[in-house]
């Protein structure tokens, strides 16, 4: 059996180009893109999905693997995968911001831990909300939905077809506003409740100036904050469902398709 160089290059390109899109998504998506997961395991995931996916893809462009157009395609495919995975990451960050706002209002912001995803010091409550959101992401098969989006993207954004437009990147950047909007919606009830408590301490200070408001206010605020946090947990699932549907809708806009939820 004789293998010609051109045949080998075409075969390699048919796997390398899809692999760039798949690995780009796995590099930043929720759970899989975390630093907690070994890079070797992440690579094996991307290889497995690529091997299963390649036989179902349309014909690849007739471009040499080691050429300038091929390197442009590799960059385009990587950016498409990163864009899809980055949207899921922004959905999770909304819960992190909400947890940080609540922790600051409840005087629990001093309790910090290292975020394994970013390597930064973050409040424990923010990390707790992130863990809840990540568990719900896998519970609703969010990873399968993202792989499905990836498969659809090869039909709507074929390899060598030009990639994402500048308007799409602008939409992704502007969609980040939902991080702060949704985090405010999740934490506004806790903020109002703790504001009422602080008003109560202000009235108490005016009525009885001899009381040391700092010695009794701090522990009461912490206990009230834990109670408010417990009451807030009941709405996390509904907020996650709403934000995840928004994230899926944005992914559909990025890959130029219509989604039915």
pLDDT digits (tens, 9 = 90+) for 206-241: 776 666 666 666 777 777 777 777 777 777 788 888
Task: Answer whether residue 260 is part of any domain.
Answer: no
- What's the average model confidence in pLDDT over 174-191? 79
pLDDT at residue 47, as a whole number: 87
- Between 92 and 111, whose confidence is greater? 92
* b/e code 208-229 from CB counts within 10 Å (16+ = b): eeeeeeeeebeeebeebbeebb
pLDDT at residue 115, as a whole number: 60
Q: Does the pLDDT value for residue 101 go beyond 60?
A: yes
Domain range for 170 is 5-254
- 136 φ/ψ angles, rounded to the nearest 5 degrees: -70, -30
Task: Answer whether residue 231 is part of any domain.
Answer: yes
Q: What is the CA radius of gyration of the chain?
A: 24
Task: Answer whether residue 261 is part of any domain.
Answer: no
pLDDT at residue 259, as a whole number: 74
Mean pLDDT lowest among 3-17, 63-77, 92-106, 139-153: 3-17
The per-residue pLDDT for range 113-132, each reduced to its tens digit, is 666 555 566 667 777 888 88
pLDDT at residue 111, as a whole number: 60
Q: Does the pLDDT value for residue 93 go beyond 60?
A: yes
- What's the average model confidence in pLDDT over 90-101? 82
Q: Does the pLDDT value for residue 200 go beyond 80?
A: no
Task: Answer whether residue 259 is part of any domain.
Answer: no
Task: Answer whether residue 136 is part of any domain.
Answer: yes
Angle (CA) 151 139 109, round 5°: 115
Task: Answer whether residue 217 is part of any domain.
Answer: yes
258 secondary structure, DSSP code: -
Residue 137 binned pLDDT confidence (cut-offs 50, 70, 90): confident
Q: Does the pLDDT value for residue 53 go beyond 80?
A: yes
pLDDT at residue 118, as a whole number: 56
Task: Answer whether residue 158 is part of any domain.
Answer: yes
- What's the average model confidence in pLDDT over 157-173? 80
- What's the average model confidence in pLDDT over 180-193? 79
Number of domains forming the structure of the chain: 1
Average pLDDT over all residues of the chain = 78
Task: Answer whether residue 93 is part of any domain.
Answer: yes
pLDDT at residue 120, as a whole number: 61
Name the residue among 17, 8, 9 with its Cα closest to residue 79: 17
């Amino acid at each position: 059996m004789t293998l010609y160089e051109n045949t080998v290059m075409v075969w390699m390109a048919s796997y390398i180009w899809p692999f760039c899109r798949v690995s780009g998504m796995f590099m930043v998506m929720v759970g899989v893109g975390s630093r907690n997961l070994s890079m070797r395991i992440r690579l094996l995931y991307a290889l497995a999905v690529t091997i299963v996916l390649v036989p179902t893809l349309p014909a690849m462009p007739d471009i040499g693997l080691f050429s300038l157009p091929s390197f442009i395609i590799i960059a385009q495919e990587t950016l498409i995968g990163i864009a899809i995975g980055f949207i899921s990451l922004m959905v999770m960050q909304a819960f992190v911001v909400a947890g940080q706002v609540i922790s600051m209002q409840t005087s629990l912001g001093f309790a910090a831990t290292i975020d394994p995803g970013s390597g930064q010091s973050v409040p424990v409550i923010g990390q707790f909300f992130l863990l809840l959101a990540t568990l719900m992401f896998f519970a609703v098969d969010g990873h399968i939905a993202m792989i499905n989006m990836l498969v659809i993207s090869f039909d709507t954004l074929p390899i060598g077809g030009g990639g994402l437009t500048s308007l799409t990147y602008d939409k992704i950047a502007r969609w980040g506003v939902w991080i702060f909007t949704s985090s405010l919606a999740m934490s506004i009830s806790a903020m109002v409740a703790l504001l009422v408590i602080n008003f109560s301490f202000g009235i108490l200070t005016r009525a009885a100036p001899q009381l040391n408001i700092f010695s009794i206010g701090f522990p009461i605020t912490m206990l009230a904050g834990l109670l408010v946090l417990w009451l807030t947990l009941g709405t996390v699932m509904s907020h996650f469902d709403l934000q995840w549907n928004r994230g899926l809708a944005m992914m559909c806009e990025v890959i130029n398709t219509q989604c039915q939820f």
